[in-house]
C-alpha cells in the first residue's frame, strides 16, 4: 500500500519552465519554447541557468492549478504528502510563502535539497512524481517513480509509468492499489 507520496515542484506542480520561457522571450529575445530544456546549454550558459533558478518572480509568477490542488487535497486524506525540490535556498522563503498562501496540503513537509535520494529514503516515500530525467533515473531503484511527461523527458516515456498532469494520478493509484505487489507496466500513460 502506498502511504507516503512525494512530489517534485517545478515541472510537476508548478510551471516554472513556462515562467522562464516567458521571461526569456520578454527580456532576452530567446524564443525556443520548452524545447530549451532538452539541451539548455545550447541556448544559455550554466551560470545564467543558475541565476534563473534563483529568481523569486519565476517561482511565484503563476497561481496553482485548481485541479492540481484538489488532487493534492484528496490524496492528503489517505496519504502523507511530501514536496522535495532542488530549488536553491535563495527561493526557499518565497516558495514556503507560496505554498502557505495557496493552501497546499501538508505544506510543512517541504524539503529543499540537492540530494533527493537521501530524503526519499528518510521519509520512506513509496511513490515519487518527477519530471527531470536525471532525477527519475537516479530514483528508480529507491522508490516507484511516476514521470510527468514533458518535452525534456520524452526519451524516458517508454521506461516509466507516466502521466500528463497530476490530475491523472488518482486514476493511476486506483490501478495500482497494491503497487509494491504489482509489476510496473512501463510506458503506460494514465
Answer whether residue 145 shows pLDDT above 60. Answer: yes
14 vs 39, more confident: 14
Local structure of residue 14 (DSSP, 8 states) = B
Using 50, 70 and 90 to split pLDDT, how confident is the model at 183? very low
Burial 51-81 (b: 16+ CB within 10 A, else e): ebbebeebbbbeebeeebbebbeebeeebbb
159-176 average pLDDT score: 91
Q: Which residues contact 184 (CB under 8 A, 6 or more apart)?
A: 144, 161
As a residue count, the chain comes to 190
Answer whether residue 102 shows pLDDT above 60. Answer: yes
Q: What is the dotted CATH code of the domain comprising 4-14+63-181?
A: 3.40.50.1000
For residue 188, the model assigns a pLDDT of 52
Q: What is the pLDDT of residues 62-83, one digit of tens each?
A: 999 999 999 999 999 999 999 9
In sequence order, what E strands does 90-152 have?
Answer: 110-112, 127-130, 144-148
> Which residues make up the CATH 3.40.50.1000 domain(s) of the chain?
4-14+63-181
Amino acid at each position: 500500500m502506498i502511504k507516503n507520496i512525494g512530489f517534485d515542484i517545478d515541472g510537476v506542480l508548478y510551471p516554472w519552465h513556462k515562467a522562464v520561457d516567458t521571461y526569456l522571450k520578454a527580456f532576452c529575445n530567446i524564443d525556443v519554447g520548452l524545447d530549451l530544456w532538452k539541451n539548455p546549454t545550447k541556448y544559455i550558459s550554466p551560470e545564467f541557468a543558475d541565476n534563473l533558478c534563483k529568481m523569486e518572480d519565476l517561482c511565484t509568477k503563476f497561481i496553482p492549478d485548481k485541479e492540481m490542488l484538489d488532487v493534492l487535497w484528496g490524496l492528503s486524506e489517505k496519504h502523507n504528502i511530501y514536496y522535495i525540490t532542488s530549488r536553491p535556498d535563495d527561493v526557499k522563503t518565497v516558495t514556503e510563502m507560496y505554498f502557505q498562501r495557496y493552501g497546499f496540503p501538508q505544506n510543512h513537509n517541504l524539503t529543499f535539497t540537492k540530494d533527493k535520494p537521501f530524503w526519499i529514503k528518510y521519509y520512506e516515500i513509496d511513490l515519487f512524481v518527477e519530471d527531470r530525467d536525471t532525477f527519475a533515473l537516479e530514483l528508480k531503484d529507491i522508490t516507484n517513480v511516476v514521470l510527468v511527461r514533458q518535452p525534456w523527458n520524452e526519451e524516458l516515456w517508454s521506461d516509466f509509468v507516466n502521466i500528463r498532469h497530476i490530475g491523472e494520478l488518482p486514476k493511476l493509484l486506483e490501478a495500482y492499489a497494491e503497487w509494491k505487489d504489482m509489476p510496473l507496466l512501463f510506458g503506460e500513460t494514465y
